[in-house]
Amino acid sequence: MSAPAPHPGAPATTPQPPPPEVLALSVPGLPEVGAGDDLAGLVARACAAAGIALGAGDVVVVASKVVAKAEGRAVPAETREQALDEQSVRLVAERGLPDGRTTRVVQSRSGPVMAAAGIDASDVAEGTVLLLPADPDASARALRTRLRALLEPALGGGAPAVVVSDTSGRPWRDGVTDFALGAAGLEVLDDARGRLDRSGRVMEVTVRGVADEVAALADLVKGKAAGTPVAVVRGLGAHVTDDDGSGAARLVRTGPGDWFAFGHVEAVRAALGLAEREVAPPPIAPGGPVPARVARAVDVAAAGPGLGHAAVSAQASSDGAALAVSGPPYDVGAAVERLRAALWAERLDVDVVPGAVRSVDGEELVDASVAVELRVGERS
């Protein structure tokens, strides 16, 4: 994952000392939330009932699920696939499940890259699924504005920050964690570039994701199935701002800074010129019988721009498989490279043996044709 571009001209500043303590307080007692409910009012009453006096330096962390429920984002379950298409900006990765269904990781219209665009079927009314809030930052701003009005005059016009949190996996790490889907009134990033470390060196790449850290901390006291979708994080007043700020949208890395725009299989397919979902997705569990993986790779190589006039035939071998590729020289060369890329995505190694094939499917090669053999085996 790339770091934000450094600011070589930024002044060296003294880092702000961390707070002596940060507290995460679970907020029990929130009732079931329905479409049109005054969510901020429910949160304020639940905090008061729990003896939590909200302050202007606090951060109220609210699970996106209850925000979406209050905003009426439930749709019929039978429209899930249509909703997934509508909520997706681009496909990142797609895999087939053993039961024939397909799971997709996409960039959602709400911003983040998530499995199934964050569409959730747990803890919702029977026969429905729940979409993410349409604009999570706007949701956070609306909650903060309402909390400000409810807490006036006790806070003198101030208001706690609000983070709308959701759950996601992470590249290279097992387990899920909560992150900031939306935010208002919180410095979502702590840019340390230009500050001096303890050795007097200027830091050039360190940018802390404060809002995500707050969401993850709050999740430790909220719990996934405990019926407590709200928590208050206390002790981070230095990061709470009077204005609503830029929101969590700025945390989403896109464009040249996104080193993971595609899954590794999808990157190969994009390089081969295939449109999204043009061929069937690979299985979610990697590996499997080599002949089946070779067959998938041939289908992938033949899709999109295709193999021209090259012919491909496959034969199982004791340690893998062999492909015979024949036809006009240019087409054979192009086909071999397409096949090598597609086989790599199946975690298969390829040795190219020129001239090893004299006939294909029992027929002698005609003049002006060439043939090569691709010997395929497991990647070591």
Using a 10 angstrom Cβ sphere, with 0-12 exposed, 13-18 middle and 19 or more buried, the burial of residue 235 is middle
CATH number (domain holding residue 226):
3.30.1330.100
Secondary structure (DSSP) of 222-287: H-SSSS--EEEEES-GGGB-SS--S-GGGG---GGG-TTSS-HHHHHHHHTTPPTTSSPPPBSS--
Dihedral of CA atoms 172, 5, 248, 169 in degrees, nearest 10, equals 0
Q: Is 136 helix (H, G, I), strand (E, B) or coil?
A: helix
Q: Is residue 324 part of a domain?
A: yes
Q: Is residue 294 part of a domain?
A: yes
Residues 152 and 209 in one domain: yes
Using a 10 angstrom Cβ sphere, with 0-12 exposed, 13-18 middle and 19 or more buried, the burial of residue 93 is buried
Residues 154 and 38 in one domain: yes
Is 329 within 8 Å of 367 (Cβ atoms)?
no
Q: Is residue 164 part of a domain?
A: yes
The predicted structure's pLDDT at residue 357: 54
Instruction: Write out the two tokens for 222.
Output: 């909220």
Residues 368 and 231 in one domain: no
Residues 245 and 274 in one domain: no
Cα dist from 67 to 63, 112, 181, 243, 278, whole Å: 7, 17, 11, 21, 36
Picking from 185, 65, 187, the residue whose alpha carbon sits closest to that of residue 128 is: 65
Owning domain of residue 299: 265-378
Q: What span, in angstroms and rounded, lies between the C-alpha atoms of 83 and 116?
A: 10
Q: Is residue 82 part of a domain?
A: no
pLDDT in tens, 326-351: 899 899 999 999 999 999 999 999 99
Residues 244 and 278 in one domain: no
Is 150 within 8 Å of 45 (Cβ atoms)?
no
Domain termination site, one of 204, 235, 254 = 254
- The 10 Å Cβ neighbour count of residue 7 is 11
Residues 233 and 280 in one domain: no
Using a 10 angstrom Cβ sphere, with 0-12 exposed, 13-18 middle and 19 or more buried, the burial of residue 379 is exposed
The predicted structure's pLDDT at residue 148: 96
Q: Is 94 helix (H, G, I), strand (E, B) or coil?
A: strand
- The 10 Å Cβ neighbour count of residue 140 is 31
Q: Give the residues across from 303 on adjacent strands.
A: none
Using a 10 angstrom Cβ sphere, with 0-12 exposed, 13-18 middle and 19 or more buried, the burial of residue 100 is exposed
Q: Is residue 231 part of a domain?
A: yes
The predicted structure's pLDDT at residue 195: 81
The predicted structure's pLDDT at residue 16: 63
pLDDT in tens, 76-114: 999 999 999 999 998 999 999 988 889 999 999 888 999
Mean pLDDT in order along the chain per 10 residues (380 residues): 45 63 96 96 97 96 97 93 91 91 90 90 89 96 97 90 94 93 95 79 82 97 83 96 94 86 92 93 88 94 95 83 91 95 94 68 60 88
Q: Is residue 365 part of a domain?
A: yes
Is 77 within 8 Å of 246 (Cβ atoms)?
no
Q: Is 64 helix (H, G, I), strand (E, B) or coil?
A: helix
Q: Is 17 helix (H, G, I), strand (E, B) or coil?
A: coil
Q: Which residue has the tokens 């759950």?
A: 167
Cα dist from 11 to 49, 100, 204, 218, whole Å: 47, 56, 11, 33
Q: Is residue 160 part of a domain?
A: yes
The model carries a pTM of 0.84
The dihedrals phi and psi of 232, each to the nearest 5 degrees, come to -120, 130
Helix, strand, coil distribution of the chain in percent, nearest 5? 30, 30, 45
Residues 279 and 229 in one domain: no
Residues 300 and 169 in one domain: no
Residues 145 and 197 in one domain: yes
Residues 51 and 187 in one domain: yes
Instruction: Write out the two tokens for 109.
Output: 């219209």
Residues 32 and 160 in one domain: yes
Residues 198 and 273 in one domain: no
CATH number (domain holding residue 282):
3.30.70
Domain termination site, one of 226, 254, 282 = 254
Q: Is residue 105 part of a domain?
A: no
Give how many domains the chain has, as a whole number: 2
Domain termination site, one of 254, 285, 317 = 254
